[in-house]
Amino acid sequence: MKACLTAFLLLVIGSVCAQGVYVCTQPNGSREYRNTGDTRGCKKLDVDGISMVPSTSNQPGSASKDKSAAISDPSFPRIDNQIQKRRDQDRMLILLEEVKSEEAKLASLKKEYQNGEPERLGSERNYAKYLERVALLKEELQRTEKNIESLKREISNLK
């Protein structure tokens, strides 16, 4: 917890160093760090520049070296080409079924939505409830269209 707070404070202090950092003591005794000292009980902190040291494990190129080393390792698990082809075919069938079901759902939603003017239900005597249902239908339509797009994109990546 203390480490997280310290990291957060360093981030905040580093981002607002040009403006200044103020520590404000609240009436209940808690401290709050701000970039303005416009309230009572605030004192400006004297902050020196923050130095950052890059991590050695996140340097560019180190991930690709690790990946190539893992692939060339004889103990790295390998899958037979036939098994992988069968898995890819199964995945393709599943994705195609999902596209079909999403397209059927989209057709149903479009039929109900009727270009933004669906029929009012008997339970919607309040016009606001009707508008809320129309908005939810529109959101569901958009979400279904995005699902179809992403499924088709995933299918095209398999080919």
Domain boundaries, the chain: 16-48, 81-158
Give 57's pLDDT tier (boundaries 50, 70, 90): low
Q: For residue range 111-158, what is the model confidence (pLDDT) as tens digits?
A: 999 888 888 888 888 889 899 999 999 999 999 999 999 999 999 998
Strands (E), the chain: 21-25, 31-34, 42-45
19-53 pLDDT tens trace: 677 888 888 888 887 877 777 778 887 776 656 66
d(CA 111, CA 67): 50
**Whole-number pLDDT of residue 9:** 54
Rounded CA separation 13/52 (Å): 13
Global confidence as pTM: 0.49
Residue 20 and residue 35 in contact, taking contact as beta carbons nearer than 8 Å: yes
Q: How are the residues of the chain apportioned to helix, strand and coil, as percentages rounded to the nearest 5?
A: 55, 10, 35
Of 35-39, 50-54, 73-77, 92-96, the poorest mean pLDDT is in: 50-54
